[in-house]
Amino acid sequence: MEAEIVAIGTELLLGVTVDTNSAYLAQQLGTIGVPVRRVTLVRDDLAEIVTTLQDALGRVDLVICSGGLGPTGDDLTREAIAQATGRPLEFHQTLLDDIAARFAAFKRTMSDSNRQQAYVPQGAHIIRNPRGTAPAFVAEGGAAAEGRLIAALPGVPQELSYLTENALLPYLRDEHGLNEVLVVRELRVSGLTEADAGERIADIMLGENPVVGITAKRGQHTIRIAAKGEGREAAEALIEPLVELIRQRFGAYLLGEETVEQRVARLLAERGVKLALVETDLNAPVYRTLTETSAGKQALVHATIQPALAPENHDYPTLARSLAAEAAALKSDARLVLLIEPGEGSFKTVHLALGTADSPQIRYLARGFDWGLPQASDFVATAALELLRRWLEASGPDAAFEESEQPNRPA
């Protein structure tokens, strides 16, 4: 079985309300082995909602709606599902009694408009709502979508989550035999471009189970493996061969389940490394990232943060190396240097150097970054910490430390 989610409400399309319900529902459906293939936002327009639901029922076995079950004139989900499935709405006195009791408990008077919340499509499985006034339900798809299901949940997140976990998922498991499990494993990669990383797994991203994908964030990449099976062990058995294949293809670029900042912080603590830092950026991306963890704070024994230096007065590659070579003089095990070379426009060259107290070797890199991007500081921090990680692990391709005096502009 596959699912689509339809989030209903004009406020979602205006950007007034952020749709967090769909992400939650996708996660929960994974616990019963139901992958979500599409999420649609639709405004409070009856004809548009009906068309959206009919289209979804033509593609998947399960459609879940959130929102539009309130008592006001723009709450149209009940009527839309009735039209989409060809099942007229039926009034249920027990549901109206539940709503009235809730108002009475809060010492408030129920409005006549709340009566519309006691209507559900004919023959639907009713889910009573002890957390609010909007009952949920699951209806059959109708003649045009025989055997397919459409569920309606209130849009209030607290009500939606309670009814999903305590009523909808048990109903789908018990009454429709949805007992598979969707397991997701994430592996992180650092030190490669997204294109390079994607090329290494291009062939395994074509499978249907497991499904493999890649996303980028902060200059790092997450490889996601999702597998469906009859229980967690069965799903894990499908995932494990791909994990091993990914390990072989990425080698030292693979971080496992850690981010590069987590890996560096752990290694600094395990090895008792004393680190000195130089940054010519008042935003201090490396310092900020390192000191997010207690291990990073403890390792950092000396830090110099200052504005960028004037380009006409400095040979940046030589200066970066000479500053990195001062690790021993600062009574540190290593000194990480990040110098930003001012340039025309937003494109800047960043010079990275790492020197250690026990070796004359200076590891040096020059990379180009677009400082017009809001996440530029995150990319710079990742590049610097990747250099530090390679030294801490004393592994990885030598190319990771090759000198680059004229960095290529990013595409």
pLDDT in tens, 351-396: 999 999 988 889 999 988 888 888 888 899 999 999 999 999 874 3
Number of Cβ within 10 Å of residue 361's Cβ equals 12
- Report residue 238: phi and psi, to 5°: -75, -30
- Integer Cα distance of 298 and 292 in angstroms: 11
Structure tokens, 49 = 């909602």
DSSP class of 312: G
- Integer Cα distance of 32 and 26 in angstroms: 11
Give the list of residues 6+ apart from residue 219 with CB closer than 8 angstroms, or none: 190, 378, 379, 381, 382, 383
Asked whether 134 and 119 are in contact (CB, 8 A), the reply is: no
Q: What does the pLDDT look like over 80-131, one tens digit per residue?
A: 999 999 999 999 999 999 999 999 998 888 899 999 999 999 999 999 999 9
Q: State the pLDDT at residue 400.
A: 41
Q: State the pLDDT at residue 343.
A: 74
- Integer Cα distance of 62 and 64 in angstroms: 7
Q: State the pLDDT at residue 310.
A: 67
| pLDDT confidence tier of residue 411, bands split at 50, 70 and 90 | very low
Map out the domains of the chain with their CATH numbers.
Answer: 3-176 (3.40.980.10), 181-256 (3.30.70.2860), 260-401 (3.90.950.20)
- The helices-and-strands tally (H runs, E runs) of the chain is 14, 17
Name the most confidently modeled range: 122-131, 205-214, 342-351: 122-131
Q: State the pLDDT at residue 80.
A: 97
More confident position, 177 or 265 = 265
